[in-house]
Every structure is written in structure tokens, then in C-alpha cells.
Amino acid sequence: MKTLKVLSVLLCYPQPEMQAALAEMATALAQENRLPESTRRALQALINQMQCADLMDLQESYIGLFDRGRALSLHLFEHIHGQSRDRGQAMVDLLETYRRHGFELSARELPDYLPLFLEYLAQRPADEALSLLTDAMPVIALIGARLAERGSDYHVVFDALAALVGEPASIADIRRQAAIEGPDETVVNMDQIWEEEAVTFLANQEGCGVNRPLPGVAQPVQWVPPLDATRQSARSL
């Protein structure tokens, strides 16, 4: 599904190749025509903004938004499991899902990175992709609501994802939570943290044999956090 691929790229760290392909991405959205007209216009406005902006400004803005705090982390399991051991097992399960379908990650990619997840979905049959996206929407909607509260134009990408599958039933609670959280007061070097997590996660892949599921046995990915887990995670920021 080209729409999911475009949304994946829009959420990636801005690079010259991405900026050069923005017009082509807008054309792909129009041709596939899976989004409501109002949503597509909002995405077009974001694309126009990215086309006109200085690349270094885009990169600086991206880092300040997504890489300097946990509240807007694009690593989905961060919002569900925090730093608990459950996150590691959830990533293993998701990685196994990718590998069963021939989707291989590079050495430093974590499987719960949202642009990567969307890239994987873009390669799957539409019905399967939309079903998996629906499962992940409670977390995706939370990030989108936080972006909207901060006045970030990136929230339109998350609006587009919701437009593909519908908002989760808990959307009112999600927006209420985002509204009362206030700004993310924790400013940390998330690049370094996630690089260390990637090294640890990949190093542990060979040593999980005792408790890991048998190869080829599908394990469900848990997208919905336990009761109040995301709220507790936000308070710990």
C-alpha cells in the first residue's frame, strides 16, 4: 500500500533523498486515493512545508521533537512497556513476525520504530496491513494527540493513519490524557539511549534460546498497554 509507505517516509529523519521525493509522494497519495480529501489536503500542506524548508532546519526540528524526550518517542513499545523486560520480549515477537515474511532489519534498527513498522505494513496485503495498524492505533493515537497538543504539523501524519482504519474506541480518553500531561519536561539524549538499546537487543538475540518461542511459531504482539500504563509512563518522564 503506497499510502503507508509515504506516511512511513514522512516520519523518518529528513534526508536529501526524502526532500527530493516529496512531490512524487504527494502524487502517490492522490493516485491511490485511500484518504479523505481533507486529510490529503492537510498532508499536502505538510509536504509543501517540507519542500520549502531548509533541510538542516527540518532535521533540527525533527530531533527536537522526537529524539529529546520519551513522550513523543516513535518507538511504540516505549509507550506500552517503558523500560521493563516486557518490551524486550515484545520486540522479539515483532521481529519474528517481520522475519517470517522476509522483512529484514539493518543492524541498528529496533523493530518497534513506527516508520519501520509502517514500511513493513506497506509490503503486506491491504486487509492484513490495516488489521495490524488497527491493533496498534491506541499507541499511535496517543502520540498523535500529544503532537496536536504541542502544535506540531506532524500530527497530520497520525491523523492520516487514523483515517485509514478509524480512531480507537478510547480516543476521547487518549485526547484527555494528552491535554492534561503538559509539556515533556525531560530532555535527554534519546539517540544515545536507543543506540544502547539496539546494541543490547541485538546482542541478546543469540542468548534467548531457553525462553524464546520455537522458530516459526507465531506470537501475538501486545499493542494495548495494561490499565493506566501509558499514564504512569507519562508521569515518569
Tell me what pLDDT residue 205 has.
45
The answer to whether residue 220 sits within a structural domain is yes
Q: Is 50 exceeded by the pLDDT of residue 130?
A: yes
79 within domain boundaries? yes
Report yes or no on 148 lying in a domain: yes
Q: What is the mean predicted confidence (pLDDT) over 95-110?
A: 82
Q: How far apart are CA 144 and CA 171, in angstroms?
A: 11
Task: Give tens-digit pLDDT for 175-229.
Answer: 887 788 766 655 554 444 445 544 444 444 443 333 333 334 344 444 444 334 4
Per-residue pLDDT, 160:
96
- Give the position of cell 546482542: 203
3-state secondary structure of 113: strand
- The Cα–Cα gap between 160 and 163 comes to 5
Q: Is residue 78 part of a domain?
A: yes
Task: Answer whether residue 23 is part of any domain.
Answer: no
Q: Domain for residue 19, yes or no?
A: no
Is it the case that residue 82 has pLDDT exceeding 80?
Answer: no
- Number of folded domains that form the chain: 1
Residue 137 falls inside a structural domain: yes
Short-list 131, 132, 107, 106, CA closest to 117: 132
Section 114-130 average pLDDT? 94
**pTM score, whole prediction:** 0.76
pLDDT at 27 exceeding the cut of 60: yes
> 29, 40, 67, 34: which is closest to 133 by C-alpha?
34
H helix or E strand, kind and range, residue 46: helix 37-52
* Structural domain range at position 136: 68-235
| HSE (side-chain half, CA atoms, 13 Å) at 136 | 29
Does the pLDDT value for residue 143 go beyond 80?
yes
* 3-12, 46-55, 59-68, 186-195: least confident range: 186-195
In a domain, 94, yes or no: yes
Read off the C-alpha cell for 167. 480512531
